[in-house]
C-alpha cells in the first residue's frame, strides 16, 4: 500500500471515530443536565444506535454495494450528518432532539461499514494491514475524550451546569463536515454488486445463518450475546452521567482509559485464546462485566476512586474477550458458506435486538432509583446489571460444552 493511501485511510478512520467519540460518551450527561430528560427518554435516545444498526445493512446492501462508490456515499452521509449535528447543538428540548438523533444514527451507522470497505479495497493483505489502519479510529475516539476533559473542560461541573456540553455536538458537526469533504479525495471504491443482480433481504440481514442455531453451543452463544448487551447498555447510557454526578474530575478523559485498555487486550486476545480456549475466554469477558459494575457500585470519587478506574480499565476485557472473541468464534462455526451471513446475524442480535432491550431496561432502572432531580441510588443502578452479567456467566459456564470446540490459528488472524 502506498504511503499516501495509508495516510488517507488512517485520517479517515481517525475522523470517523473522533466524530462518534466527541458526543456519544457524554450524551447521557448532556441529556440529563441540559435537556432534563428522564431515564426512559435517555434510553430511547441511546436506542437510536440500535435502530441505525438494524437499518445499516439495508443501506449498504441495497444502495452502497450496487449503485454508488463507497467513498461518495461516505461523503454525502457525513455532510448530511454535519447539518444534523448542528441541529442537535441547537436543540433545547428532548422532543426536538430525538428526531434529529434518530435520523443521524440511521445515517451514521452505515458509515462504519463503508470505512471498512474503503480500507479493505486498498489492501493486498487485510489480515496484516487492517489493524494498523483501524487503530487510528480508537486513537480518534481517545483524542476526542481528552479534548473534552483536559482542553475545553466541557465536562467540568460548572461547565456542565452552564450548558457547555452542547458544544460537543458543534465539534462533531465541524469534524463531520471536514470528513465529508475529505471523503471525496479517498481512493475510489466502486460497487461490489452489479446493478442487475438480485439482492435478497435474507442475505442482507444474515438469515441464512439461522441454520447455525441448530448447534446447541452456537444457540447458547447467540442468546448470551443478546443478554450481555443489557449490561453493555448500562455502561453506554450511565457511565459518564454517573461519574459526573458523584463528582469525579475529568470523567470523559478518564473514560478514555477504557479505549486504551481495549487496544491492549486486543493484542492479548490471540494468546489468551490459544492457551485457554473459547469458553474460558468468553467467560472471562462475562465475569469482567459483573466485576466492573460491582466496582462502580461500591466505589466513590474519594478514597475508593481507584475502584472506578479499575472498572473503566476492565472495558478491554469486557469488550474484546466477549464481542471480538465472539466474532472469531462465529467465523469459525460458520465456515466459508455462511461467514458473512453469520457476522451480520450476530451484529443484528447484539447492536440491534440486544441493545434495544438493554437501553430500555437501563432507562427504567435509572428512573426507578432516582432519589431527586440531581441524585440517584447509583449502587442499585450498577448492582442490577452486575447481577445480570453474573447470571449469564453462570448459565454459559454450566451449559456450554467446549470439548468439541476448536479455534484454529487461521481464525485468530481475523
Give the span between the Cα atoms of 97 and 45, in whole angstroms: 9
Q: What is the pLDDT of residue 129?
A: 86
The three cell numbers of residue 257 are 482509559
Span(s) in the chain for CATH 1.20.1250.20 = 1-199, 201-414
Give the span between the Cα atoms of 298 and 332, in whole angstroms: 39
Q: How many CA atoms lie within 13 A of 374 on its CB side?
A: 8
How far does Cα 100 stand from its chain's mean position? 20
Q: What is the pLDDT of residue 343?
A: 74
| Mean pLDDT along residues 142-171 | 96
| Mean pLDDT along residues 375-398 | 97
Cα dihedral 314→320→323→328 (10° resolution): -160
Inter-axis angle of helices 39-46 and 94-120, nearest 10: 30
DSSP state of 211: G
Q: Is the dihedral of CA 262, 266, 272, 273 positive or negative?
A: positive
Give the span between the Cα atoms of 312 and 239, in whole angstroms: 9
pLDDT digits (tens, 9 = 90+) for 165-200: 999 999 999 999 999 999 999 999 888 665 566 666
Q: What is the pLDDT of residue 1?
A: 79
Mean pLDDT over the full length of the chain: 90
Q: What is the pLDDT of residue 7?
A: 96
Helix (H, G, I), strand (E, B) or coil at 403: coil
Range name among 2-6, 61-65, 234-238, 291-295 with the lowest pLDDT average: 61-65
**31 falls in which pLDDT band (50, 70, 90)?**
very high
The highest-level CATH class for domain 1-199 is mainly alpha
Residue 371 host element (H or E): strand 370-372
pTM, full prediction: 0.90
Q: What is the pLDDT of residue 148?
A: 98
Share of the chain above pLDDT 70, in %: 90
Give the span between the Cα atoms of 276 and 270, in whole angstroms: 10
CATH T-level fold of 201-414: Growth Hormone; Chain: A; (1.20.1250)
114, pLDDT greater than 70: yes
- CA–CA distance from 359 to each of 12, 48, 318 (Å)? 30, 10, 18
Q: Is 180 exposed, middle or buried (0-12, 13-18, 19+ CB in 10 A)?
A: buried
Give the span between the Cα atoms of 363 and 43, in whole angstroms: 5
pLDDT digits (tens, 9 = 90+) for 253-275: 999 999 999 989 988 888 888 88
370 in the Ramachandran plot: left (φ > 0), alpha (ψ -120 to 50) or beta?
A: beta
Angle in degrees, CA 233, 281, 379, rounded to 5: 35
Q: What is the pLDDT of residue 409?
A: 46
pLDDT digits (tens, 9 = 90+) for 285-309: 999 999 999 999 999 999 999 999 9
Q: Is 57 exposed, middle or buried (0-12, 13-18, 19+ CB in 10 A)?
A: buried
Q: What is the pLDDT of residue 414?
A: 46
Strand partners, 372: 375
pLDDT digits (tens, 9 = 90+) for 60-100: 766 766 778 889 999 999 999 999 999 999 999 999 999 99
Q: Is 414 exposed, middle or buried (0-12, 13-18, 19+ CB in 10 A)?
A: middle
Which of 204, 8, 14, 15 shows the shortest CA–CA distance to 123?
8
370-372 and 375-376 strand pairing? antiparallel
242, pLDDT greater than 80: yes
| Mean pLDDT along residues 314-343 | 82
Q: What is the pLDDT of residue 243?
A: 97
**407 falls in which pLDDT band (50, 70, 90)?**
low
**334 falls in which pLDDT band (50, 70, 90)?**
confident
Share of the chain above pLDDT 90, in %: 68
Kindly give the residue spans of alpha helices, DSSP state H, lying in 22-68: 27-33, 39-46, 48-59
- Cβ–Cβ contacts within 10 Å for residue 399, how many? 12
pLDDT digits (tens, 9 = 90+) for 337-363: 666 677 778 888 898 899 999 999 999
pLDDT digits (tens, 9 = 90+) for 362-374: 999 999 999 998 8
Amino acid at each position: 500500500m502506498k504511503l499516501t493511501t495509508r495516510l488517507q485511510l488512517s485520517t479517515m478512520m481517525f475522523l470517523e471515530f473522533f466524530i462518534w467519540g466527541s458526543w456519544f460518551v457524554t450524551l447521557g450527561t448532556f441529556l440529563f443536565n441540559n435537556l432534563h430528560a428522564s431515564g426512559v427518554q435517555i434510553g430511547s435516545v441511546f436506542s437510536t444506535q440500535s435502530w441505525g444498526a438494524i437499518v445499516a445493512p439495508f443501506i449498504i446492501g441495497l444502495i452502497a454495494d450496487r449503485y454508488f462508490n463507497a467513498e461518495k456515499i461516505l461523503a454525502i452521509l457525513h455532510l448530511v450528518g454535519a447539518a444534523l449535528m448542528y441541529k442537535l447543538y441547537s436543540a433545547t428540548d428532548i422532543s426536538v432532539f430525538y428526531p434529529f438523533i434518530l435520523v443521524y444514527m440511521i445515517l451514521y451507522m452505515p458509515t462504519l461499514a463503508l470505512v471498512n470497505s474503503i480500507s479493505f479495497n486498498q489492501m493486498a493483505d487485510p489480515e496484516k494491514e487492517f489493524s494498523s489502519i483501524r487503530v487510528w479510529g480508537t486513537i480518534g475516539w481517545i483524542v476526542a475524550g481528552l479534548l473534552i476533559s483536559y482542553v475545553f473542560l466541557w465536562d467540568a461541573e460548572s461547565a456542565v451546569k452552564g450548558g457547555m456540553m452542547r458544544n460537543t455536538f458543534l465539534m462533531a458537526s465541524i469534524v463531520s463536515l471536514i470528513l465529508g469533504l475529505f471523503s471525496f479525495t479517498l481512493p475510489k471504491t466502486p460497487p461490489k454488486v452489479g446493478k442487475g443482480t438480485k439482492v435478497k433481504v435474507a442475505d442482507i440481514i444474515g438469515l441464512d445463518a439461522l441454520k447455525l442455531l441448530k448447534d446447541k453451543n452456537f444457540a447458547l452463544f447467540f442468546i448470551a450475546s443478546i443478554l450481555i448487551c443489557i449490561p453493555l447498555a448500562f455502561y453506554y447510557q450511565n457511565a459518564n452521567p454517573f461519574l459526573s454526578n458523584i463528582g469525579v474530575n475529568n470523567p470523559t478523559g478518564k473514560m478514555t482509559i477504557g479505549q486504551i485498555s481495549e487496544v491492549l487486550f486486543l493484542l492479548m486476545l490471540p494468546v489468551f485464546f490459544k492457551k485457554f480456549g473459547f469458553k474460558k475466554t468468553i467467560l472471562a469477558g462475562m465475569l469482567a462485566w459483573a466485576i466492573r459494575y460491582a466496582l462502580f457500585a461500591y466505589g466513590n470519587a474519594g478514597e475508593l476512586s481507584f475502584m472506578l478506574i479499575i472498572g473503566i480499565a476492565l472495558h478491554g476485557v469486557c469488550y474484546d474477550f466477549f464481542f471480538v472473541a465472539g466474532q472469531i468464534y462465529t467465523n469459525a462455526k460458520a465456515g466459508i458458506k455462511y461467514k458473512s451471513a453469520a457476522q451480520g446475524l450476530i451484529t443484528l442480535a447484539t447492536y440491534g435486538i440486544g441493545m434495544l432491550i438493554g437501553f430500555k431496561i437501563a432507562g427504567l432502572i435509572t428512573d426507578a432509583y432516582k432519589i431527586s432531580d440531581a441524585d440517584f441510588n447509583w449502587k442499585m443502578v450498577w448492582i442490577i446489571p452486575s447481577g445480570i452479567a453474573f447470571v449469564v456467566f453462570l448459565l454459559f459456564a454450566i451449559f456450554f460444552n467446549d470439548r468439541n470446540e476448536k479455534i484454529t490459528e487461521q481464525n485468530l488472524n481475523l
